[in-house]
Each structure stands twice: as C-alpha cells, then as structure tokens.
Amino acid sequence: MPSGDVALFVDWENLQLPPDVSKADRLKSLAEEHGRLVLARAYGDWAQRPKGAQEQYELYVAGIEPVYVPCKNSEGGVVKNSVDVKMSADCLEFTHLCPNIRTYVLASCDADFLHVAQSLRRRGLNVVVLGKTQAVSSRLVAASDGAVFYDASSVAVGTAESEKSKGAKCSYKLKTVDKALREILTKLEQEGKKGYPQALGGLKSLLKARLPRFDEGEYGPGKFGDFVREREKAGVLTIVRKGDSDHAMLPK
C-alpha cells in the first residue's frame, strides 16, 4: 500500500499525452499510486495555447492548480526554459513549506529537471518521473527513484512477441531484453559519468521505458537483481558495488 504524502508537478508544455484520454485525470491517478496526493500543480503558458482555457478548466476540476508561466516576452521572443525554472524553484520551495511531502512526482520528459531531481533526493526525498516511453530522458530517469509511463500499456512495434490470445500477457524474447540492456548502458556511458554505472533500480525503470511489459518473473524466480545477475553470467553486463547498492555497467 502507498504511504506518505505526494506532490505532483507537471511540465504541461512538455508532456505528450494521447488526445483520447483526459490528461489531468490520468496524471492525478498515476501520482496517487505513490501515496496521498496533497499538492498538484501544472505549469504552462495558457495564453499561447490554442485550448489553454479548456485545459485550465480540466486541471481545476481534477484538483490540479494551473500555474501561468509566460514563454514569450513583450516583443514576442521566446523566454527559454521559463517553465523549467519556475517549476524547479517551486519544487525546492515546497520542501520547506510542506515537510510532510516525501515523494515528488515530476511529470516531464525533459532532461533539464535532472538537477532538481538530484537536489530533492539529497534532501532524503523520493523522486518519481512520469513521462512517455521513448520520449522521457534516460538521464532524468536514472537520477530518480523510479519512473511511471502513462502509455505503458502500448508496446513498440517490433519489440514484443505476438500475444497468444487477446488479453494475454506479452513477453519479450531474451535476446530482445539483452539488446535493450546493452543499448541503455551504452547510451549512459556515452552521455558521461552521471548515471553510469547505473543502479539496478534505475536500470529497471529504463528497461521498462523501452519494453513496457517487461517482467523479470517470466524468466525465472527471483527479483530484478537476480535476473540481472543471470545476464551478467551470460556476458551481457557487469555488476559492480558502489556504496551500499549494486550497479550495472558494460563488460570490460
């Protein structure tokens, strides 16, 4: 059961929710899976959005406070990263105003929130990234305690085995999982030292971003750590110890 208070911060300008779902209700529902939602805010330039008034109303009805952040100046020029800066500043401010909040859900696919995620975690707080598979920044996911994907029920074409029957659980061939693990670790290594080697919890979130229906239980008993150790034996990756936890990296 989820426990503790939760805050939801939404980068409305960045999210790419499908048009056939209520954005506000969907985001709120996913955030509530992590505990009691006591604060919810969505940031956007409502004046510049074609359906800005309607979006604000849907947010208000869902219990999410719309926060106006202008993305253009008086001359019509773009104010770069204005939503990112305002949302990040508010996250840190609420750590002082509401110490009861222990989990911050950052709804964005933008890597610019990497620094605020790291800052929140240094304060002993949990950070969950809410984004879209294939679009969310792998660096942002790696800097968080977990990730939720609002389109996780869909499967990328060409990555999953066909379902045996309608509604059956979709599995991935082991070689597909191994390939995804190698690609994730290769990308993290190329992006720099942060997030590499990758903690096993973050690695699982990144893997599920690529293979939404991945379930380590399909490949044998045990937890994700046990599955990764089996892949180490197969030469897919190497496990190293950093601090109090295991991390994964490419074989040397």
CATH number at residue 144: 3.40.50.1010
Residue 188 shares a structural domain with residue 87: no
CATH number for the domain harbouring residue 238: 1.10.10
- Same domain for 200 and 96: no
Q: Is residue 38 situated within a structural domain?
A: yes
Cα 229 to chain centroid, rounded: 24
18 and 140 fall within a common domain: yes
Number of domains in the chain: 2
Percent of the chain surpassing pLDDT 70: 83
Q: What is the pLDDT of residues 167-221, one digit of tens each?
A: 334 468 888 999 999 999 998 888 776 678 888 888 888 888 788 778 888 888 7
Instruction: State yes or no: pLDDT of 92 exceeds 60.
Output: yes
Task: Please report the DSSP string for 19-35 in residue order.
Answer: TTS-HHHHHHHHHHTTS
Domain residue limits at 216: 174-249
- Residue 169, C-beta contacts closer than 8 angstroms, at least 6 positions apart: 163, 213, 215, 218
Q: How far is CA 155 from CA 55, 97, 136, 172, in A?
A: 28, 40, 16, 11
- Does residue 156 lie within any of the structural domains? no
Residue 107 has pLDDT above 90, yes or no: yes
Residue 92 inside a domain? The answer is yes
Q: Are residues 51 and 103 in the same domain?
A: yes
